[in-house]
Amino acid sequence: IEQNMQKHEKLEVISHLSASISHEIRNPLQVIKGFIQLLHTKEYDREKQKEFYQYMNEEIESAERIISDYLMFAKPTFDDQETISVEREIEKAVSIIQPYANLSSVSIQYTGLASDHLIDCDHQRFKQVIINIARNSIEAMEGGGKLTFKVKGDKDHVLVIIADTGKGMTGEEVIRLGEPYYSNKATGTGLGMMVVYSILKNIHGTIEVNSMPDKGTEFLIRFPKSMQQPK
């Protein structure tokens, strides 16, 4: 029964994600198509053409943002879960977001590298969780700041703590996290945290968010420890 439930949950997550992604990407594609048709049917002056190209570019960027929040690393299907080292995967995720942090004058601190805590999770989805959270943290620190990663383990769980010194959230904002299309950004997708919550649900992980406006935010993500864990 347990296995069937898991399978059912997985299918639910996949169909939910793929239905919204195709919808979300079709929108900008339709707009681009519309402009191409316009440019085809009529001779527009140079200024008008430039305006159209500008709109098309914005739509392409919007599609790119959706793809990166959604399935930067995702394979088309959920694989059987693999056993990964949380420390090694965070290390890889940090190297991917490092340039983005540099651009925003954010320094990344990472402790916990000395050990290897094992969990059962597709490594690409784990990385997507870490990167979606970290990217929000960087975006919340407009004038720069500090992004900290910590890993801890107890008997049954591995805990990953991601903390920023950004603008923080009110209690209401925290409650709305993970709601599809909830975004406070001019060019946000509102999909990043929904993807995080979906992936965590799928692997029986939990997340706790502590935030204080103007102080910062802390994400505590708890994963079931792998059975492969050495004693």
String of DSSP letters for 137-159: HHHT-TT-EEEEEEEEE-SSEEE
Q: Helix (H) and strand (E) counts for the chain?
A: 6, 7
Q: Which is nearer to ligand ADP, 153 or 168 (CB)?
A: 168
Residue whose CB is less far from ligand ADP, 39 or 71: 71
- Count Cβ atoms below 10 Å from residue 69 Cβ, excluding itself: 24
- Minimal distance in Å, beta carbon 5 to ligand ADP? 27
Residue with tokens 């004058």, as numbered in its chain: 105
Q: List the one residue from 193, 200, 207, 221 that touches ligand ADP (CB under 6 A).
A: 193
* Span of 53-61, 90-98, 103-111, 191-199 interacting with ligand ADP by CB under 6 A: 191-199
Binding status of residue 165 toward ligand ADP by CB under 6 A = no
- How is residue 228 written in tokens? 């492969």
Q: Is 136 in the site for Mg ion (CB under 5 A)?
A: yes
Which of 20, 81, 183, 229 touches ligand ADP by CB under 6 A?
183
List binders of ligand ADP among 122-161 (CB under 6 A): 132, 136-137, 140
User: Interacting stretch for ligand ADP, rule CB under 6 A, among 24-32, 79-87, 107-115, 183-191?
Assistant: 183-191
Q: How far apart are CA 87 and CA 104, in angstroms?
A: 24
CA distances from residue 182 to 79, 102, 125, 172 in whole angstroms, order as listed: 29, 27, 21, 12
Residues 65, 60: Cα–Cα separation, whole Å = 9
Side-chain half-sphere CA neighbours of 48 within 13 A: 8
Which listed range, 18-26, 149-157, 160-168, 191-199, lies at the site for Mg ion (CB under 5 A)? 191-199
Residues that bind ligand ADP (CB under 6 A): 132, 136-137, 140, 164, 166-169, 177, 182-185, 188-194, 217
Residues that bind Mg ion (CB under 5 A): 136, 192
